[in-house]
Amino acid sequence: MPKDIEFTSEISGIEEVVNEILGVETFGNLTMKSADGVIGNVSFDFVSQLSRGNKSYVLRHSTYKRDDLFALYLLQDDIPALIGIADVNFEEELVSKLIGIGIRDEFKGQGHGTAFLASIERECAKSNLFLLLHNPLFPIIPFYVGHGYRYLEYPDGSGFAKVLNPKFDERLLMP
């Protein structure tokens, strides 16, 4: 996790719940939609605030069907703008699966994705040992490698993943 990101659970001046009406949404390489097309009304709860350099964000969470949705809001002049969304599955005991993560195209290349990934890793680390990338797209693998992801074998499978607790001894996974 980058060392220049600061987290706080302080909620002063920020709404605790935000309702979004989501259609078919595109965030970079990630397109979010339901079987019927539009996602519909989603209530996102406050998780934390984070800052990186001179940028401030709000991380929010909701559930959608069997998955958890995380939304990243950029605070510009104290006005939150939804710039990223991620779909995470927590069904396995030790492994959380990042189904998809995306930042809106106009906000790419500005460090927002790094802040978003770090905040998701922080939330997943509360209950899981690994964050597994579900079907990562080949062109963005270098981004994940630069953030500590690699091929990893674990008791129930293998995949492109990151150990979320740096003190975890991976030799415990070996048969």
Q: How far apart are CA 120 and CA 67, in angstroms?
A: 14
- Surface-to-core class of residue 102, CB atoms within 10 Å of its CB (0-12 exposed, 13-18 middle, 19+ buried): buried
Q: How far apart are CA 58 and CA 52, in angstroms?
A: 12
Looking at residue 175, what is its pLDDT?
A: 54
Q: Residue ranges of the domains in the chain?
A: 5-173
Query: Of 9, 109, 116, whose CA–CA distance to 71 is shortest?
Result: 116
DSSP letter for 16, please: S
Question: Domain spanning 5-173 has what CATH number?
Answer: 3.40.630.30
Looking at residue 74, what is its pLDDT?
A: 95
> Which residues fall within 8 angstroms of residue 111, CB to CB, at 6 or more apart?
52, 53, 55
For 90-150, what is the HEC assignment? Answer: CCCCCEEEEEEEEECHHHCCCCHHHHHHHHHHHHHCCCCCEEEECCCCHHHHHHHHCCCCE
> Which residues fall within 8 angstroms of residue 24, CB to CB, at 6 or more apart?
31, 32, 33, 37, 38, 39
Q: How far apart are CA 102 and CA 31, in angstroms?
A: 8
Q: What is the phi/psi pair of residue 75, to 5°?
A: -90, 110
Q: How far apart are CA 173 and CA 26, in angstroms?
A: 37
Question: For every one of its 175 residues, what pLDDT tens digit does the chain have, with 9 covering 90 and above?
Answer: 677 889 888 887 788 999 988 888 888 878 888 777 888 889 999 999 999 989 999 999 999 888 999 999 999 877 889 999 999 999 887 789 999 899 999 998 899 999 999 999 999 999 888 888 887 777 788 888 888 888 887 766 778 888 888 777 766 665 5
Looking at residue 173, what is its pLDDT?
A: 64
CB 27 within 8 A of CB 103: yes
| pTM recorded for the entire structure | 0.87
